[in-house]
Structure 1
Amino acid sequence: CTPHCPRLTSGALTAGVDVTANQDEISDHETFQLEFDWSTKRWYIRTMQDKYWTLETGGGIQAAGDKRSSNALFDLAWQGDGSVAFRANNGRYVITKRSGHLYATSDNIDDNCKYFFYLVNRPILVLKSEQGFVGYKSASSPKLECNKATYETIQVERGEKGIVYFKGQNNKYWHVDSEGVTADSDTPEGFYLELREPTRLCIKTSSGNYLTAGKNGCFRLGDSSIENATQWEY
Protein backbone atom coordinates (compact mmCIF):
# COMPACT_ATOMS: atom_id res chain seq x y z
CA CYS A 1 0.00 0.00 0.00
CA THR A 2 1.42 3.41 -0.92
CA PRO A 3 1.36 6.37 1.49
CA HIS A 4 -2.08 7.46 0.34
CA CYS A 5 -4.50 4.63 0.99
CA PRO A 6 -7.74 5.76 2.59
CA ARG A 7 -10.35 3.62 4.24
CA LEU A 8 -13.98 4.46 3.75
CA THR A 9 -15.59 3.08 6.86
CA SER A 10 -18.86 2.19 5.14
CA GLY A 11 -17.48 0.99 1.81
CA ALA A 12 -17.11 -2.61 0.71
CA LEU A 13 -16.81 -4.58 -2.49
CA THR A 14 -19.26 -7.38 -3.13
CA ALA A 15 -19.98 -9.63 -6.09
CA GLY A 16 -16.60 -8.77 -7.53
CA VAL A 17 -17.54 -5.59 -9.37
CA ASP A 18 -20.38 -3.66 -7.68
CA VAL A 19 -19.24 -1.17 -5.07
CA THR A 20 -21.53 -1.29 -2.04
CA ALA A 21 -21.66 0.39 1.37
CA ASN A 22 -23.01 -2.24 3.73
CA GLN A 23 -20.12 -3.49 5.87
CA ASP A 24 -19.47 -2.83 9.55
CA GLU A 25 -15.92 -4.17 9.65
CA ILE A 26 -12.87 -2.87 7.80
CA SER A 27 -10.77 -5.31 5.78
CA ASP A 28 -8.75 -5.13 2.57
CA HIS A 29 -12.05 -4.98 0.68
CA GLU A 30 -12.79 -1.64 2.38
CA THR A 31 -9.32 -0.23 1.70
CA PHE A 32 -8.76 1.88 -1.40
CA GLN A 33 -5.80 3.66 -2.88
CA LEU A 34 -6.29 7.27 -3.96
CA GLU A 35 -4.22 8.32 -6.97
CA PHE A 36 -4.13 12.01 -7.87
CA ASP A 37 -4.48 13.29 -11.43
CA TRP A 38 -2.61 16.58 -11.61
CA SER A 39 -4.21 17.74 -14.86
CA THR A 40 -7.78 17.59 -13.53
CA LYS A 41 -7.07 17.85 -9.76
CA ARG A 42 -9.29 14.81 -9.32
CA TRP A 43 -8.68 11.32 -7.97
CA TYR A 44 -8.67 7.75 -9.17
CA ILE A 45 -9.89 5.21 -6.59
CA ARG A 46 -8.20 1.83 -6.89
CA THR A 47 -9.12 -1.32 -5.00
CA MET A 48 -6.64 -3.68 -3.38
CA GLN A 49 -7.43 -6.00 -6.30
CA ASP A 50 -6.03 -3.39 -8.75
CA LYS A 51 -9.40 -2.38 -10.17
CA TYR A 52 -10.56 1.22 -10.54
CA TRP A 53 -13.91 2.58 -9.44
CA THR A 54 -15.65 3.44 -12.71
CA LEU A 55 -18.84 5.29 -13.59
CA GLU A 56 -21.01 2.99 -15.69
CA THR A 57 -24.02 3.66 -17.91
CA GLY A 58 -26.99 4.48 -15.71
CA GLY A 59 -24.81 5.99 -12.99
CA GLY A 60 -23.72 2.80 -11.24
CA ILE A 61 -20.25 2.65 -9.68
CA GLN A 62 -18.34 -0.55 -10.33
CA ALA A 63 -14.83 -1.61 -9.42
CA ALA A 64 -14.18 -3.12 -12.81
CA GLY A 65 -11.78 -0.78 -14.58
CA ASP A 66 -8.39 -2.19 -15.53
CA LYS A 67 -7.15 1.18 -16.77
CA ARG A 68 -7.51 4.81 -15.85
CA SER A 69 -10.19 6.71 -17.76
CA SER A 70 -12.18 9.92 -17.41
CA ASN A 71 -15.06 7.90 -15.94
CA ALA A 72 -12.71 6.69 -13.21
CA LEU A 73 -12.04 10.24 -11.95
CA PHE A 74 -13.76 11.64 -8.86
CA ASP A 75 -13.77 14.96 -7.03
CA LEU A 76 -13.43 14.76 -3.26
CA ALA A 77 -15.90 17.18 -1.67
CA TRP A 78 -15.00 17.55 2.01
CA GLN A 79 -17.94 18.34 4.28
CA GLY A 80 -18.26 20.35 7.46
CA ASP A 81 -18.97 17.27 9.57
CA GLY A 82 -15.69 15.63 8.56
CA SER A 83 -17.17 13.37 5.91
CA VAL A 84 -16.33 13.33 2.21
CA ALA A 85 -18.57 13.10 -0.85
CA PHE A 86 -17.52 11.86 -4.29
CA ARG A 87 -18.53 13.67 -7.46
CA ALA A 88 -18.31 11.46 -10.51
CA ASN A 89 -17.48 12.36 -14.10
CA ASN A 90 -21.18 12.99 -14.86
CA GLY A 91 -21.16 15.89 -12.37
CA ARG A 92 -23.35 14.06 -9.87
CA TYR A 93 -22.56 12.84 -6.39
CA VAL A 94 -22.22 9.21 -5.41
CA ILE A 95 -25.11 8.07 -3.21
CA THR A 96 -25.70 4.85 -1.28
CA LYS A 97 -28.97 3.22 -2.34
CA ARG A 98 -31.07 1.18 0.09
CA SER A 99 -29.54 -1.98 -1.36
CA GLY A 100 -26.12 -0.63 -0.40
CA HIS A 101 -25.07 -0.12 -4.02
CA LEU A 102 -23.39 3.12 -5.05
CA TYR A 103 -24.78 5.29 -7.84
CA ALA A 104 -23.64 8.71 -9.06
CA THR A 105 -27.15 10.12 -9.43
CA SER A 106 -27.50 12.82 -6.77
CA ASP A 107 -27.44 16.54 -7.59
CA ASN A 108 -27.05 17.46 -3.92
CA ILE A 109 -25.10 16.12 -0.97
CA ASP A 110 -27.24 14.52 1.72
CA ASP A 111 -26.41 11.98 4.42
CA ASN A 112 -26.51 9.11 1.92
CA CYS A 113 -23.70 10.79 -0.05
CA LYS A 114 -21.32 11.04 2.90
CA TYR A 115 -18.44 8.68 3.65
CA PHE A 116 -15.62 8.68 6.17
CA PHE A 117 -11.93 8.59 5.48
CA TYR A 118 -8.86 7.20 7.23
CA LEU A 119 -5.20 7.10 6.23
CA VAL A 120 -4.67 3.46 7.05
CA ASN A 121 -0.92 3.22 6.70
CA ARG A 122 -0.01 6.29 8.74
CA PRO A 123 -0.12 5.45 12.47
CA ILE A 124 2.57 8.14 12.78
CA LEU A 125 2.57 11.54 11.08
CA VAL A 126 5.28 14.09 10.45
CA LEU A 127 3.91 17.53 9.53
CA LYS A 128 5.66 20.36 7.74
CA SER A 129 4.60 23.90 6.86
CA GLU A 130 6.35 26.40 4.60
CA GLN A 131 8.28 27.57 7.68
CA GLY A 132 9.47 24.16 8.82
CA PHE A 133 8.46 21.05 10.73
CA VAL A 134 5.96 20.78 13.57
CA GLY A 135 7.90 20.18 16.77
CA TYR A 136 8.17 21.18 20.40
CA LYS A 137 9.07 24.78 21.24
CA SER A 138 11.79 23.46 23.55
CA ALA A 139 12.82 20.22 25.22
CA SER A 140 10.98 21.23 28.39
CA SER A 141 7.84 22.66 26.75
CA PRO A 142 4.77 20.75 25.49
CA LYS A 143 3.90 23.68 23.21
CA LEU A 144 4.20 22.91 19.50
CA GLU A 145 5.50 25.23 16.80
CA CYS A 146 5.70 24.81 13.03
CA ASN A 147 9.09 26.31 12.13
CA LYS A 148 11.44 23.64 13.43
CA ALA A 149 14.48 22.32 11.57
CA THR A 150 13.83 18.82 12.93
CA TYR A 151 10.52 17.02 13.21
CA GLU A 152 8.63 15.36 16.03
CA THR A 153 6.67 12.21 15.29
CA ILE A 154 2.94 12.41 16.02
CA GLN A 155 1.01 9.31 17.01
CA VAL A 156 -2.36 8.95 15.27
CA GLU A 157 -5.17 7.06 17.00
CA ARG A 158 -8.36 6.24 15.13
CA GLY A 159 -11.76 7.17 16.53
CA GLU A 160 -15.28 6.80 15.14
CA LYS A 161 -16.63 8.21 11.86
CA GLY A 162 -13.37 9.60 10.51
CA ILE A 163 -12.16 11.12 13.78
CA VAL A 164 -8.48 10.79 14.71
CA TYR A 165 -6.62 11.77 17.87
CA PHE A 166 -3.04 13.08 17.99
CA LYS A 167 -0.61 12.17 20.74
CA GLY A 168 2.89 13.49 21.36
CA GLN A 169 6.01 11.51 22.20
CA ASN A 170 5.31 12.37 25.85
CA ASN A 171 2.16 10.20 25.54
CA LYS A 172 -0.10 13.23 26.03
CA TYR A 173 -2.88 14.22 23.64
CA TRP A 174 -2.96 17.42 21.64
CA HIS A 175 -4.97 20.33 23.01
CA VAL A 176 -5.73 23.17 20.57
CA ASP A 177 -7.12 26.67 20.90
CA SER A 178 -6.65 30.08 19.30
CA GLU A 179 -3.45 30.60 21.30
CA GLY A 180 -1.64 27.46 20.23
CA VAL A 181 -1.29 23.69 20.24
CA THR A 182 0.10 21.79 23.22
CA ALA A 183 0.69 18.09 23.80
CA ASP A 184 -0.29 18.09 27.46
CA SER A 185 -3.82 16.68 27.72
CA ASP A 186 -5.04 13.41 29.21
CA THR A 187 -8.27 13.75 27.23
CA PRO A 188 -8.21 13.26 23.43
CA GLU A 189 -9.60 15.96 21.15
CA GLY A 190 -10.96 14.88 17.78
CA PHE A 191 -9.60 15.92 14.38
CA TYR A 192 -10.44 15.20 10.75
CA LEU A 193 -7.85 14.78 8.00
CA GLU A 194 -8.75 16.21 4.58
CA LEU A 195 -6.56 15.01 1.74
CA ARG A 196 -5.92 17.88 -0.68
CA GLU A 197 -2.98 16.64 -2.78
CA PRO A 198 -0.93 13.43 -2.70
CA THR A 199 1.39 14.80 0.00
CA ARG A 200 -0.70 17.60 1.50
CA LEU A 201 -3.63 17.60 3.88
CA CYS A 202 -5.67 19.97 6.00
CA ILE A 203 -6.44 19.26 9.66
CA LYS A 204 -9.82 20.25 11.05
CA THR A 205 -11.12 20.01 14.59
CA SER A 206 -14.40 18.26 15.35
CA SER A 207 -15.88 21.75 15.83
CA GLY A 208 -15.02 22.64 12.21
CA ASN A 209 -11.99 24.94 12.52
CA TYR A 210 -8.68 24.36 10.76
CA LEU A 211 -5.18 24.24 12.21
CA THR A 212 -3.04 27.00 10.74
CA ALA A 213 0.60 28.02 10.53
CA GLY A 214 1.11 31.66 11.53
CA LYS A 215 4.05 34.02 11.69
CA ASN A 216 7.17 33.02 13.60
CA GLY A 217 6.13 29.39 13.78
CA CYS A 218 2.83 30.05 15.52
CA PHE A 219 0.81 26.81 15.33
CA ARG A 220 -2.79 27.38 16.37
CA LEU A 221 -6.48 26.98 15.70
CA GLY A 222 -7.79 29.17 12.89
CA ASP A 223 -11.27 29.65 11.48
CA SER A 224 -13.56 27.40 9.46
CA SER A 225 -12.57 28.80 6.05
CA ILE A 226 -10.67 26.41 3.78
CA GLU A 227 -9.14 29.45 2.06
CA ASN A 228 -7.33 30.30 5.30
CA ALA A 229 -6.41 26.71 6.16
CA THR A 230 -2.82 25.54 6.00
CA GLN A 231 -2.09 22.62 3.70
CA TRP A 232 0.37 20.55 5.69
CA GLU A 233 2.97 18.46 3.94
CA TYR A 234 3.07 14.99 5.45
Structure 2
Amino acid sequence: MAKAPARLIEPSCSFLKIFSISAICGLKLLEIFSSQCIIYMQQVKFFIRIFFNMSENSASVLRKACFFDRDGVANVEVDYLHEVEKTVLEQGFAEAVKLAHDNGYLAIIITNQAGIARGKFPIEDLYKVHDRIKELLAEQGTGLDAIYFCPHHPDVNGECGCRKPAPGMILKAAEEWNIDLSQSLMIGDRITDAQCGKNAGCKASYIVRTGYGMETLKEYPEPGFPVVNNSYGALCDFLKNQA
Protein backbone atom coordinates (compact mmCIF):
# COMPACT_ATOMS: atom_id res chain seq x y z
CA MET A 1 0.00 0.00 0.00
CA ALA A 2 1.51 3.29 -1.12
CA LYS A 3 2.37 5.78 1.60
CA ALA A 4 0.75 9.16 1.49
CA PRO A 5 3.21 11.89 0.54
CA ALA A 6 4.75 13.67 3.48
CA ARG A 7 3.34 17.11 4.19
CA LEU A 8 5.10 20.09 5.70
CA ILE A 9 3.35 21.08 8.86
CA GLU A 10 2.65 24.79 8.62
CA PRO A 11 2.33 26.77 11.86
CA SER A 12 -1.12 27.90 12.67
CA CYS A 13 -2.06 31.57 12.59
CA SER A 14 -2.37 31.61 16.37
CA PHE A 15 1.14 30.23 16.75
CA LEU A 16 2.55 32.84 14.39
CA LYS A 17 0.74 35.55 16.28
CA ILE A 18 2.08 34.38 19.64
CA PHE A 19 5.60 34.04 18.24
CA SER A 20 5.50 37.49 16.65
CA ILE A 21 4.19 39.14 19.81
CA SER A 22 6.84 37.38 21.91
CA ALA A 23 9.60 38.45 19.53
CA ILE A 24 8.41 42.05 19.48
CA CYS A 25 8.14 42.13 23.28
CA GLY A 26 11.58 40.60 23.59
CA LEU A 27 13.12 43.16 21.27
CA LYS A 28 11.31 45.96 23.09
CA LEU A 29 12.56 44.75 26.46
CA LEU A 30 16.07 44.48 25.04
CA GLU A 31 15.80 48.01 23.68
CA ILE A 32 14.57 49.35 27.02
CA PHE A 33 17.23 47.42 28.90
CA SER A 34 19.96 48.66 26.57
CA SER A 35 18.83 52.27 26.81
CA GLN A 36 18.61 52.03 30.59
CA CYS A 37 22.12 50.58 30.67
CA ILE A 38 23.39 53.47 28.55
CA ILE A 39 21.66 55.99 30.82
CA TYR A 40 23.02 54.22 33.89
CA MET A 41 26.56 54.20 32.52
CA GLN A 42 26.29 57.88 31.64
CA GLN A 43 25.17 58.61 35.19
CA VAL A 44 28.03 56.55 36.60
CA LYS A 45 30.55 58.41 34.42
CA PHE A 46 29.01 61.73 35.45
CA PHE A 47 29.28 60.98 39.17
CA ILE A 48 32.81 59.65 38.74
CA ARG A 49 33.81 62.93 37.07
CA ILE A 50 32.08 64.90 39.81
CA PHE A 51 33.79 62.84 42.51
CA PHE A 52 37.27 63.26 41.10
CA ASN A 53 36.70 66.93 40.37
CA MET A 54 35.63 67.45 43.97
CA SER A 55 38.60 65.44 45.18
CA GLU A 56 41.07 67.44 43.12
CA ASN A 57 39.50 70.78 43.95
CA SER A 58 38.54 70.19 47.56
CA ALA A 59 39.90 72.64 50.07
CA SER A 60 41.92 69.86 51.72
CA VAL A 61 43.89 69.16 48.53
CA LEU A 62 46.15 72.07 47.66
CA ARG A 63 47.95 71.92 44.35
CA LYS A 64 51.12 73.48 42.99
CA ALA A 65 51.38 75.44 39.77
CA CYS A 66 53.91 76.80 37.36
CA PHE A 67 52.59 80.05 35.90
CA PHE A 68 53.95 81.11 32.52
CA ASP A 69 53.73 84.41 30.72
CA ARG A 70 52.64 83.88 27.12
CA ASP A 71 54.40 86.14 24.60
CA GLY A 72 58.15 85.62 24.69
CA VAL A 73 57.86 82.66 27.07
CA ALA A 74 55.24 80.26 25.71
CA ASN A 75 55.39 81.51 22.13
CA VAL A 76 57.92 83.54 20.16
CA GLU A 77 57.37 87.26 20.68
CA VAL A 78 55.29 88.89 17.95
CA ASP A 79 53.90 92.38 18.48
CA TYR A 80 50.15 92.02 19.11
CA LEU A 81 50.16 88.40 18.01
CA HIS A 82 46.78 87.44 16.57
CA GLU A 83 47.65 85.33 13.53
CA VAL A 84 47.70 81.56 13.84
CA GLU A 85 50.40 81.16 11.17
CA LYS A 86 52.78 83.35 13.21
CA THR A 87 52.25 81.35 16.40
CA VAL A 88 55.44 79.42 17.18
CA LEU A 89 56.43 77.86 20.50
CA GLU A 90 59.35 79.51 22.28
CA GLN A 91 62.41 77.37 22.95
CA GLY A 92 62.13 75.23 26.05
CA PHE A 93 58.43 75.82 26.63
CA ALA A 94 57.07 72.39 25.69
CA GLU A 95 59.81 70.79 27.77
CA ALA A 96 58.92 73.06 30.70
CA VAL A 97 55.25 72.08 30.53
CA LYS A 98 56.18 68.39 30.48
CA LEU A 99 58.56 68.87 33.41
CA ALA A 100 55.87 70.72 35.37
CA HIS A 101 53.39 67.89 34.95
CA ASP A 102 56.01 65.23 35.69
CA ASN A 103 56.63 66.91 39.04
CA GLY A 104 52.99 67.44 39.99
CA TYR A 105 52.64 71.07 38.93
CA LEU A 106 49.80 72.55 36.94
CA ALA A 107 50.92 74.43 33.81
CA ILE A 108 48.99 77.69 33.48
CA ILE A 109 49.49 80.68 31.20
CA ILE A 110 48.92 84.18 32.62
CA THR A 111 48.94 86.87 29.93
CA ASN A 112 48.16 90.56 29.40
CA GLN A 113 46.39 91.06 26.07
CA ALA A 114 45.84 94.81 25.81
CA GLY A 115 45.51 94.48 22.04
CA ILE A 116 41.87 93.60 22.62
CA ALA A 117 41.16 96.83 24.52
CA ARG A 118 43.11 98.83 21.96
CA GLY A 119 41.19 97.32 19.07
CA LYS A 120 44.26 95.71 17.51
CA PHE A 121 42.45 92.40 17.08
CA PRO A 122 39.14 90.77 18.09
CA ILE A 123 38.94 88.35 20.99
CA GLU A 124 38.15 85.54 18.54
CA ASP A 125 41.70 85.84 17.16
CA LEU A 126 43.06 85.48 20.68
CA TYR A 127 41.21 82.19 21.13
CA LYS A 128 42.55 80.95 17.79
CA VAL A 129 46.11 81.69 18.88
CA HIS A 130 45.52 79.86 22.15
CA ASP A 131 44.09 76.90 20.27
CA ARG A 132 47.19 76.86 18.09
CA ILE A 133 49.46 76.87 21.15
CA LYS A 134 47.51 73.90 22.50
CA GLU A 135 47.83 72.10 19.16
CA LEU A 136 51.59 72.65 19.05
CA LEU A 137 51.96 71.34 22.59
CA ALA A 138 49.77 68.33 21.81
CA GLU A 139 52.10 67.49 18.92
CA GLN A 140 54.85 67.18 21.52
CA GLY A 141 52.75 65.06 23.85
CA THR A 142 51.80 67.63 26.45
CA GLY A 143 49.31 70.41 27.16
CA LEU A 144 48.24 73.29 29.36
CA ASP A 145 45.84 73.12 32.27
CA ALA A 146 44.47 76.64 31.79
CA ILE A 147 45.02 80.03 30.18
CA TYR A 148 44.03 83.29 31.89
CA PHE A 149 44.20 86.61 30.08
CA CYS A 150 43.57 90.26 30.87
CA PRO A 151 41.93 92.09 27.94
CA HIS A 152 42.21 95.54 29.53
CA HIS A 153 44.48 98.55 29.20
CA PRO A 154 44.49 101.44 31.70
CA ASP A 155 44.27 104.06 28.93
CA VAL A 156 41.06 102.45 27.69
CA ASN A 157 39.45 100.69 30.64
CA GLY A 158 41.12 102.34 33.61
CA GLU A 159 42.94 100.38 36.27
CA CYS A 160 41.97 96.74 36.81
CA GLY A 161 43.00 94.03 39.22
CA CYS A 162 44.05 91.50 36.60
CA ARG A 163 46.62 93.29 34.44
CA LYS A 164 50.13 92.32 35.51
CA PRO A 165 51.84 93.27 37.78
CA ALA A 166 48.50 93.09 39.62
CA PRO A 167 47.99 89.54 40.88
CA GLY A 168 44.35 89.12 39.85
CA MET A 169 44.82 86.38 37.26
CA ILE A 170 47.00 84.27 39.51
CA LEU A 171 44.65 84.74 42.44
CA LYS A 172 41.70 83.70 40.28
CA ALA A 173 43.56 80.60 39.12
CA ALA A 174 44.48 79.79 42.71
CA GLU A 175 40.83 80.00 43.74
CA GLU A 176 39.56 77.90 40.84
CA TRP A 177 42.28 75.24 41.04
CA ASN A 178 42.95 75.26 44.81
CA ILE A 179 46.57 76.23 44.32
CA ASP A 180 49.05 76.70 47.13
CA LEU A 181 50.82 79.80 45.89
CA SER A 182 53.52 79.44 48.51
CA GLN A 183 54.64 76.32 46.60
CA SER A 184 54.20 77.77 43.11
CA LEU A 185 56.26 79.90 40.73
CA MET A 186 55.91 82.49 37.97
CA ILE A 187 58.05 82.63 34.82
CA GLY A 188 58.09 85.67 32.53
CA ASP A 189 60.25 87.86 30.31
CA ARG A 190 59.25 91.22 31.80
CA ILE A 191 59.71 92.73 35.23
CA THR A 192 55.93 93.01 35.54
CA ASP A 193 55.64 89.23 35.19
CA ALA A 194 58.02 88.63 38.06
CA GLN A 195 56.34 91.32 40.15
CA CYS A 196 52.97 89.69 39.49
CA GLY A 197 54.21 86.41 40.92
CA LYS A 198 55.65 88.19 43.94
CA ASN A 199 52.45 90.19 44.50
CA ALA A 200 50.40 87.00 44.35
CA GLY A 201 52.58 85.32 46.97
CA CYS A 202 54.36 82.81 44.73
CA LYS A 203 57.40 81.12 46.18
CA ALA A 204 59.61 82.31 43.32
CA SER A 205 59.52 84.40 40.16
CA TYR A 206 61.95 84.08 37.26
CA ILE A 207 62.91 86.31 34.36
CA VAL A 208 63.94 84.57 31.15
CA ARG A 209 66.19 85.85 28.37
CA THR A 210 63.77 84.85 25.63
CA GLY A 211 61.21 87.27 24.24
CA TYR A 212 61.54 90.71 25.81
CA GLY A 213 63.94 89.36 28.42
CA MET A 214 67.13 90.97 27.14
CA GLU A 215 65.41 94.36 26.95
CA THR A 216 64.20 93.84 30.51
CA LEU A 217 67.76 93.18 31.68
CA LYS A 218 69.02 96.31 29.94
CA GLU A 219 66.40 98.34 31.77
CA TYR A 220 66.84 96.45 35.04
CA PRO A 221 70.46 95.16 35.22
CA GLU A 222 69.74 93.87 38.72
CA PRO A 223 66.05 92.96 38.55
CA GLY A 224 65.90 91.39 42.00
CA PHE A 225 64.71 88.08 40.53
CA PRO A 226 66.70 85.10 39.27
CA VAL A 227 67.50 85.22 35.54
CA VAL A 228 67.70 82.11 33.35
CA ASN A 229 67.83 81.34 29.63
CA ASN A 230 64.28 80.05 29.14
CA SER A 231 61.23 78.64 30.91
CA TYR A 232 62.66 75.12 31.05
CA GLY A 233 65.80 76.41 32.73
CA ALA A 234 63.68 78.36 35.21
CA LEU A 235 61.67 75.34 36.26
CA CYS A 236 64.79 73.17 36.47
CA ASP A 237 66.40 75.71 38.80
CA PHE A 238 63.26 75.96 40.92
CA LEU A 239 62.92 72.19 41.30
CA LYS A 240 66.60 71.83 42.13
CA ASN A 241 66.15 74.26 45.00
CA GLN A 242 63.18 72.25 46.31
CA ALA A 243 65.26 69.11 46.74
Q: Tell me if both proteins adopt one fold, taking TM over 0.5 as the criterion.
A: no
Give the structure, 1 or 2, with the largest relative contact order (CA under 8 Å, sep 6 or more). Answer: 2
Question: Greater Rg, structure 1 or structure 2?
Answer: 2
TM-score (norm. length: structure 2) = 0.23
TM-score, reference length from structure 1: 0.23
